Amino acid sequence: MTQDPLVIFTPSGKRGRVPAGTTVLTAARRLGVDLDSVCGGRGICSKCQISPGKGRFDKHGVTVAEDALSGINAVEERYDRIRGLKPGRRLGCQAQICSDVVLDVPPESQVHRQVVRKNADARPIEMDPATRRYFVSVPEPDMHEPRGDLERLIEALAGQWRIEGATAAPAVLAKLQQALRKGEWEVTLAVHQGAETEPPRIVDLWPGFRDAPLWGLAIDLGSTTIAAHLTSLEDGHVEASAGIMNPQIRFGEDLMSRVSYSMMNEGGAAEMTTAVRAAIDDLARGLAEEAGIEPRDIVEAVFVCNPVMHHLLLGIDPVELGQAPFALATSDAVSLPARDLDLGAINAGAQVYALPCIAGHVGADAAAVALSERPDQSDDLVLIVDVGTNAELLLGDRARVLACSSPTGPAFEGAQISSGQRAAPGAIEAIRIDPETKAPRFRVIGCDKWSDEDGFWEAVGPGGVTGICGSGIIEAVAEMRIAGLVDARGLIGSAEQTGTNRMIAEGRTHAYLIHDGAEAGGPRITVTQGDIRAIQLAKSALYAGARLLMDERGVEAVDRVVLAGAFGAHISPKHALVLGMIPDVPVERVTSAGNAAGTGARIALCSRAARREVEVLVREITKVETAIEPRFQEHFVAANAIPHATAPFAGLRATQPLPEPSFNASGGGEGGGGRRRRRARD
Amino acid sequence: MTQDPLVIFTPSGKRGRVPAGTTVLTAARRLGVDLDSVCGGRGICSKCQISPGKGRFDKHGVTVAEDALSGINAVEERYDRIRGLKPGRRLGCQAQICSDVVLDVPPESQVHRQVVRKNADARPIEMDPATRRYFVSVPEPDMHEPRGDLERLIEALAGQWRIEGATAAPAVLAKLQQALRKGEWEVTLAVHQGAETEPPRIVDLWPGFRDAPLWGLAIDLGSTTIAAHLTSLEDGHVEASAGIMNPQIRFGEDLMSRVSYSMMNEGGAAEMTTAVRAAIDDLARGLAEEAGIEPRDIVEAVFVCNPVMHHLLLGIDPVELGQAPFALATSDAVSLPARDLDLGAINAGAQVYALPCIAGHVGADAAAVALSERPDQSDDLVLIVDVGTNAELLLGDRARVLACSSPTGPAFEGAQISSGQRAAPGAIEAIRIDPETKAPRFRVIGCDKWSDEDGFWEAVGPGGVTGICGSGIIEAVAEMRIAGLVDARGLIGSAEQTGTNRMIAEGRTHAYLIHDGAEAGGPRITVTQGDIRAIQLAKSALYAGARLLMDERGVEAVDRVVLAGAFGAHISPKHALVLGMIPDVPVERVTSAGNAAGTGARIALCSRAARREVEVLVREITKVETAIEPRFQEHFVAANAIPHATAPFAGLRATQPLPEPSFNASGGGEGGGGRRRRRARD
């Protein structure tokens, strides 16, 4: 008696015997091998392609005969002729197993294929989106058993795909009958399967086999900007990204001024809700157009945002977030139809998922950073700082993760800085000051050359140098500190004290001249005493937040620091350390994670498992409320000095000596930050 | 050792021992006694009132002491002072059991109280609505455990009412925080709990304890009229009813003309959908106003309607219902938010339930009739006929139920009748013809007197006699048949043939003059040959449908007939038999069920159990499709004669002799019905 053929799938290594004549797809399903199929084995979708091995496989103890699989059949021949099949590939639903065989499942044929992330350290995303395509054949109506088309469709979905008890959006019901008849009783469905408590929901349907991927939007809804990434729900790649200003800026620059707007104006919250939803809708429409896809193919959207943005998006007045105890209306993840958010540009049945909020001041954006960076899986103690108008901080390792937020204000984004501007061409983004001559050289956005290199001015073009962006001002202040132009308390020295006439007297204070474009009709770019004070306030808030988490955790140092956020990617670690934005760690242990919140949104879009993980993780995080913690004010005051009044920053000073001038007596007139600092020392 | 006190609840008879000091409400819950409470035992809602018995109860073997319950406490005293407590009543949540006691739970204190229906034969409705009020106390927010208000509310609902995993409508989320604070962390919720697959949903909430009942709408959406009953979800009583014309009439009088409108006009179905939804919205708004309740308190709506109305309501093009195989887009019960139907007048979170459809031509209205009349629980074989522009027929008993529909057309509603009009004041609704003199006497709507009684004309008033409504035309034709003015084939005799000059020649046919109001400027009311033909077509369709069901069931007779529908209530059983509308049964076995579809809607509104029952029942009904059944045409032709060409109607004739004149030769010019009949006999 001959044995059934042995089939071995790679890379999974799953193996087993199946009766001769079994198709590869059936064998894969029986053995629990991850082999994709949208059409359910009808030879239409080509998702189940595999590559059969040939010859001897010592590792598996198998020799594969030439005719281990059945010959290419008419369906495969037709598919190859019309759409083309890569060499050596077979359709798993057509090829039958005749004798022992080794079959390789290429990545694109795996349902749970992995999406490799740019950041080499990061875990890959395993595809497991909530909304997927399913091709189904529906029995025709029978007058003598007059069940509805929907009921037969739902039964077909259960029978052919084991998706039980699906429901249908009202819009689906409206187009169901026509689609079934046009597709001759075959349709492609987009089915959403969210949390276990939500029944599967038919989001949309198309007549016949629909050969186009489904898309999702990963949206990072910030106070200042809204960024959206059009992401494939089939392989997780980002097809197009776009960002726009948050139109709520006209109601207030920062979060608290928007909360105030809502408190002071009847209907103010609703106004801001309408504005932000319309902007998101426009953004989605624009992305679809840019990518050349139908907006109807966008069937999911995932949102990450801080609590105030989160509430305004959901139509909730954020007033409670402006006062203790900072109660969230809802803290858990929210899943609801896109039409409830008036998102009309994307599919009418699209589902929205908003990540959970960690606390009243620590939002779904921080949850997304946690999902992207997984501090709970870190072997060493990591501090993750998402720098923005409001900074989110996470501190933790496998033992425990803590989170807080800190109101840094807009200075890091170039706002409230005399020569400040948003990151755009013409903005100074990097700067170095010669310790001897005190002369600056700099680089602007849109030009790779430094200002002291040949051809710099030609390369910059007629727009010239227009201002300083966030990363530029951080470097400028830090470089001024290194060059001895600013003392530890943040006071700018005079021309006499510093020996350079770049120091310009402005009333009782001084400013440092970086570039005088006045001759060419451009701006005069300086760093003023007020700028230094603004940066001191912002960095003190950031450091104080980090220190508070360290207190809670009972540590005096962290092992490494991750700078997250679009802006975080542009911050020079050394300058951040000189400024004392972050605790003292070796400079090489300060890394950038890019837009981790956006990445977290994308992970949640691609993976239901990740949603469950972040939902659990968020509940396990220890929340620290900076606004009511008396020590926060203490830490804030001590952090006002550059780099710090009490923390030694010995590691930094070992590699980067800092001069210690004192401009107090002669410089005169200090800002608020200076006064505070004095009080703390008294 | 003394035993715990024995407590006996009436009328349930449930009994058991509880520790002394247990409150009556707690005891009831422990013993599974149906005792209501909205406030959860806080002495606010007074729903848990009971009447303690006094003295000796031989039946129960118990003697109740004077102090069997604790004395009236401050909460009860305050409640009695402010809102008043009936004599002998106690609040079950306050009174504690001290010794053996017999406690009566009055009907209004029962959660599942029964609603007695007008029809004495009918089963009472046991209250079990999907949406109920719940009073909950929510823990205040805690900065150190920053879960959202919604999460704490959901947990409170689970903890205090065992309603697990509730979700909230977006509108609820928007008002949640304000309501919780205004109510000092106590709120009253309206919670919808539908089918097991639907998670509980918070429909709305109010600060503190809300002392107002919730309401539902039972809506009978007919082709011609829309009737709505504003029904209490607490005790099932109908507070107000209203009806309006279906605005879709302007797109076509009957169902098929509306289907045609949709086929012939791009966007026609959407137009009809918009029109009917707006009309329902107006109707709801008007009912709330009439009843003096807040529209927001209407939290549910149940719809019954035929398949075409059903599809148009749900926004589905009914085109498939106009052609074989008459496929329904959806046949199962539909549950969806009212906002999906653009019903803005009622609560934004209200839930809509539409009963299941039986088949492509037998709708949710027939399902509602089945739910109201329960043919499946009948010991004898009952034929239920819901008479309307489209008639629904149910035939069955405990063994098996069959259903079909029959296109009777609008003749029974007075349309397409020369002197016909809708049932309204001035319309002849009953008529008798003297067999000797052939003179008619009649009664009109809005006047109790017969036309030959003294004071009739004064009572009728200046409006006079305006026409004949549906029940009037049925009686007129039947009386003409009894009086020998019309022969079995439906031909009207001439003045010579009948011996009365009330017969007026009209071309080659004759008409019977009922009333000549010409002198008073009123109409001349006659029954023409065309009227007879129209009624013959309508009644043949009805009878043929019934006969087809009897064929399927394999019977030659039924035991009883129930006439349903608003119009059915006004049909005289004897005249319906003479006309041959229904199979021959003893006249006293023909009864009226009133608006059974509307009653079915009300039952489904008040009882979730009833919804489950009708969902099962509908699937068990045998569907008969008249439109494709060859025998239908046969039965239709044979039923054209009055009462019938082949069925003997012996029972009828035994009590009501019918003369058999033949007006064929001299009367001349027959309509289509006559020709068909001849062909069938050839």
Q: How many CB atoms lie within 10 A of CB B100?
A: 20
Q: What is the mean pLDDT of residues B233-258?
A: 90
A55/chain B closest Cα distance in angstroms: 53
Q: Which of residues B249 and A555 earns the better pLDDT score?
A: A555
pLDDT at A120: 54
Asked if B151 reaches chain A (Cβ–Cβ under 8 Å), the answer is: yes
Please name every residue paired with A432 in a beta bridge, in sequence order, or none if there are none. Answer: A441
**pLDDT classification of A198: cutoffs 50, 70, 90:** confident
Cβ contact, residue pair A197, B197, below 8 Å: no
Residues A243 and A392 both lie in one domain: no
In a domain, A320, yes or no: yes
Residue to test with chain B: of A263, A316, A625, A629, most B Cβ within 10 A: A316
Same domain, B325 and B419: no
The contacts found for B232-237 with CB under 8 angstroms, 24 or more apart, are B233/B129, B233/B131, B233/B132, B233/B299, B233/B300, B233/B605, B233/B606, B234/B127, B235/B108, B235/B113, B235/B115, B235/B127, B236/B113, B236/B115, B236/B125, B236/B127, B236/B602, B236/B606, B237/B115
Mean pLDDT of B247-271: 91
Q: Tell me whether residue A124 is in a domain.
A: no
Contacts of A421 (CB under 8 A, 6+ apart): A414, A427, A466, A467, A468, A469
Separation between Cα atoms, residue A532 and residue A473, nearest integer Å: 9
pLDDT, tens digit (0-9, with 9 covering 90-100), for B475-530: 999 999 999 999 999 999 999 999 999 999 999 999 999 999 877 778 899 999 99
Alpha helices in A554-629 (DSSP H): 573-579, 596-606, 608-620
| Partner B contacted by A149 (CB < 8 A) | yes
Please report, for residues B131, B394, B409, B543, B633, the alpha-carbon distance to residue B638 in angstroms, rounded to integers and kept in the order given. 51, 21, 18, 10, 9
The identity of residue B552, as a single letter, is E
**B382-391 average pLDDT score:** 89
Among B539, B297, B280, B295, smallest CA distance to B406 is for B539
Q: Which residues of B touch A163 (CB under 8 A)?
A: none
Q: Higher-confidence residue: A355 or B223?
A: A355
CA-wise closest residue to A248 among A178, A308, A289: A308
Determine the distance from the C-alpha atom of residue B423 to the mean position of all C-alpha atoms in its chain, rounded to a whole number: 19
DSSP string, B366-429: HHHHHHHH-GGG-SS-EEEEE-SSSEEEEEE-SS-EEEEEE---GGGGTTTSTTB--S-TTEEE
Chain A residues with CB under 8 Å of B306 CB are none
Residue A575 CA: distances (Å) to CA of A481, A542, A559? 10, 15, 18
Tell me the per-residue pLDDT of A201-228, one tens digit each, with 9 for 90 and over: 999 999 999 989 999 999 999 888 899 9
| Shared-domain flag, residues B549 and B517 | yes
Partners of A205 in the beta sheet? A189
- A415 and A404 fall within a common domain: no
Coil, strand, or helix at residue A395?
strand
B375 falls in which pLDDT band (50, 70, 90)? very high
pLDDT for position B387: 86
Tell me the pLDDT tens digit for each residue of B114-150. Answer: 776 666 556 788 899 999 999 999 999 988 888 999 9
B74 within a domain of the structure (yes/no): yes
Residues sharing a CB contact under 8 Å with residue A531, sequence separation 6 or more, in sequence order: A417, A418, A419, A420, A473, A477
pLDDT for A9 beyond 80? yes
For residue B148, give the nearest of A168, A177, A328 by CB distance: A328
Residue found under tokens 């001439």? B494
Tell me which of B593 and A355 has the higher pLDDT: A355
What local confidence, expressed as pLDDT, does residue A627 receive? 80
User: Which position has the higher pLDDT, B567 or A304?
Assistant: A304
Q: What pLDDT is recorded for position A308?
A: 95
Please, which residues 177-206 of chain A have a Cβ atom closer than 8 Å to chain B? 177-178, 197, 199
Q: Quick one: pLDDT at residue A680?
A: 34
Indicate the pLDDT class of residue B460, thresholds 50, 70 and 90.
confident
pLDDT of residue A1: 55
pLDDT for position A329? 97
Tell whether A163 lies on the interface with B, counting CB pairs under 8 A. no
Res B256: pLDDT: 87
CA distance B314 to chain A (A): 8
- Among the candidates B313, B338, B354, a domain finishes at B354
The per-residue pLDDT for A463 is 81
CA B128/CA B113 separation, integer angstroms = 9
Among the three residues A159, A182, A207, which one is the final residue of a domain in this structure? Answer: A207
Range from A405-414, B5-14, B424-433 carrying the lowest mean pLDDT:
A405-414
User: Of A109, A143, A163, which marks where a domain is finished?
Assistant: A109
Instruction: Look at residue A389 and tell me whether its pLDDT is greater than 60.
Output: yes
For residue A122, the SS3 value is coil
> pLDDT tens-digit profile of B395-416?
999 999 999 998 888 788 777 8
Are B244 and B281 part of one and the same domain?
yes
Backbone angles phi, psi at B582, to 5 degrees: -130, 160
> CA-to-CA distance for B243 and B245, rounded, in angstroms?
7
Q: What is the pLDDT of residues B268-318, one digit of tens each?
A: 999 999 999 999 999 999 999 999 999 999 999 999 999 999 999 999 999
CB contact under 8 A, A327 and B176: no
For residue A340, is pLDDT > 70? yes
* B328·A174 Cβ contact <8 A: no
Respond yes or no on whether the N-terminal peptide bond of residue B11 is cis (omega within 30° of 0).
Answer: yes
B485 and B507 share a domain? yes
Q: Is A320 in the same domain as A340?
A: yes
Of A141, A143, A173, the CB nearest to B314: A173
Integer Cα distance of B95 and B288 in angstroms: 37
CATH number for the domain spanning A318: value is 3.30.420.480
On the question of pLDDT at A117 being above 70, the answer is no
Q: What angle do CA A21, A47, A292 make, to 5 degrees?
A: 160
A242-268 per-position pLDDT tens digit: 989 899 988 987 888 899 999 999 999
- Asked if A563 and A581 touch (Cβ cutoff 8 Å), the reply is no
Assign residue B84 the CATH number of its domain.
3.10.20.30
Tokens of B441: 């006497």
Quote the pLDDT of residue A677: 35
Closest CA to A143 of B365, B448, B626, B210: B626
Least CB–CB distance from A146: residue in B149, B178, B360: B360
pLDDT category of residue B671 using cuts at 50, 70 and 90: very low
Task: State residue A118's pLDDT score.
Answer: 63
Q: Please report the pLDDT score of residue B140 as a whole number.
A: 95
Q: pLDDT by residue (tens digit) across A130-155?
A: 999 999 999 999 888 889 999 999 99
pLDDT in tens, A584-611: 999 999 999 988 999 999 999 999 999 9
pLDDT digits (tens, 9 = 90+) for A519-578: 777 889 999 999 999 999 999 999 999 999 999 999 999 999 999 987 778 899 999 999
Confidence of residue B566 (pLDDT cuts 50, 70, 90): confident
* Encoded amino acid at A518, one letter: A
Tens digits of residue pLDDT in B147-180: 999 999 999 999 999 999 999 988 899 999 999 9
The pair of three-digit structure tokens given for residue B94, joined into one six-digit string = 């306050």
Interface predicted TM-score (ipTM): 0.85
Residues spanned by the domain of A668? 368-409+543-681
- Chain B's closest residue to A151, CA to CA, is B330
Are A624 and A639 part of one and the same domain? yes
pLDDT score, position A119: 62
Residue A362 DSSP label: B
Residue A183 lies in a domain: yes
Closest residue of chain A to B270, computed from CA coordinates? A174
- Which residues, in sequence order, are CB contacts of B143 under 8 Å at separation 6+? A324, A325, A326, A359, A360, A625, A628
Assigned token pair, A495: 């021309």
Enumerate the residues of chain A whose CB falls inside 8 A of the CB of residue B357: 148
**How close B615 comes to chain A (CA, Å)?**
12
The answer to the question of residue A122 being in a domain is: no
Q: Is the pLDDT of residue B676 over 70?
A: no
Q: Are residues B63 and B159 in the same domain?
A: no
Name the least confident of A425-429, A669-673, B169-173, B450-454.
A669-673
Q: Is A325 on the interface with B (CB under 8 A)?
A: yes
Radius of gyration of chain A (CA): 30
- State pLDDT tens for residues B326-360: 999 999 999 999 999 999 999 989 999 999 999 99
- pLDDT of A647-678, one tens digit each? 999 999 999 999 999 997 544 444 433 333 33
Top-ranked range on mean pLDDT: pick from A50-54, B397-401, B468-472, B674-678: B397-401
Let me know if residue B394 belongs to a domain.
Answer: no
Domain membership flag for residue B389: no
Is residue B219 domain-shared with residue B189, that is, in the same domain? no
Beta bridge partners of A501: none
Residues in chain B: 682
Query: Which of A537, A582, A538 lies closest to A561 in space, CA to CA?
Result: A582
Report the relative pairing of strands B6-10 and B101-104 from DSSP bridges: parallel
Number of domains in chain A: 5
pLDDT in tens, B56-77: 998 888 999 999 999 999 999 9
A218's tokens: 């990963």
Query: Could you tell me whether strands A55-57 and A114-115 are parallel, antiparallel, or unpaired per DSSP bridges?
Result: unpaired
Q: Do A173 and B149 touch (CB under 8 A)?
A: no
B632 in the same domain as B527: yes
Q: What is the mean pLDDT of chain B?
A: 91
Phi-psi group of B48: left, alpha or beta (phi > 0 → left; psi -120 to 50 → alpha; rest → beta):
alpha
Instruction: Specify the CATH number for the domain of residue B169.
Output: 3.10.20.880
- My answer on whether A159 and A268 are in the same domain is no
**Residue A117 within a domain:** no
Residues from chain A that touch B173, judged by Cβ atoms under 8 A, are: 314-316, 329-330
B:217-246 residues touching chain A, CB 8 A cutoff = none
Taking only the tens place, the pLDDT of each residue in A23-79 is 999 999 999 898 998 888 888 888 899 999 989 998 888 999 999 999 999 999 988
Which residues of A are less than 8 Å from B151 in CB distance?
330-332
Dihedral sign from CA coordinates of A603, A607, A610, A611? positive
**Mean pLDDT in chain A?**
91
